[in-house]
A and B are shown apart, each in its own frame.
Chain A
Amino acid sequence: GAVVSQHPSRVICKSGTSVKIECRSLDFQATTMFWYRQFPKQSLMLMATSNEGSKATYEQGVEKDKFLINHASLTLSTLTVTSAHPEDSSFYICSAGGTSSYNEQFFGPGTRLTVL
């Protein structure tokens, strides 16, 4: 199957700082990437859909000014958590699914964010 990487795998930061997470599709071009957040013992929560060359589509309740998404190329999407707070501590996972969301999604390994 296709490979999606994420970097960093784990990050600890101070409250108020910004953190950037990269998601790369290594062996295919992804016009659409998805960003999820998962709190302990809960299911995946879709945060936003990232479309190459256009603005991301955010789910209800997700602050677009706090979670900045950039999908500048067909192989890279970035999520920046701005002015992070302890409640932003979570497991952030990206996935890429080719041209339409109903195709199989290939998940990155996830990024564990801890905000002190």
Chain B
Amino acid sequence: RKEVEQDPGPFNVPEGATVAFNCTYSNSASQSFFWYRQDCRKEPKLLMSVYSSGNEDGRFTAQLNRASQYISLLIRDSKLSDSATYLCVVKPHASGGSYIPTFGRGTSLIVHP
């Protein structure tokens, strides 16, 4: 099983739609979770961190389910500008002073008019 798995998509949705992505992880010791966004031919950029209690940032909502070992990203009222690849990132706890983040392969979202 891969450490971090995502459905590559693409998810093809109309403007205004609500879309959700999941990301599963295999390391139960994982402690930090993030969603990054990567536009075509650009570098990944942090979209939002994922907190245990779930968190919202405008149209974006991130949730963590530790029992089932997955995180999710919900996008409401999709905009054309949301078209991108969404990468999930999982990190173990930094108890030893160093740790390695693991990126998923990404989920492609295409929002059309």
* Chains A and B come from one and the same complex: no
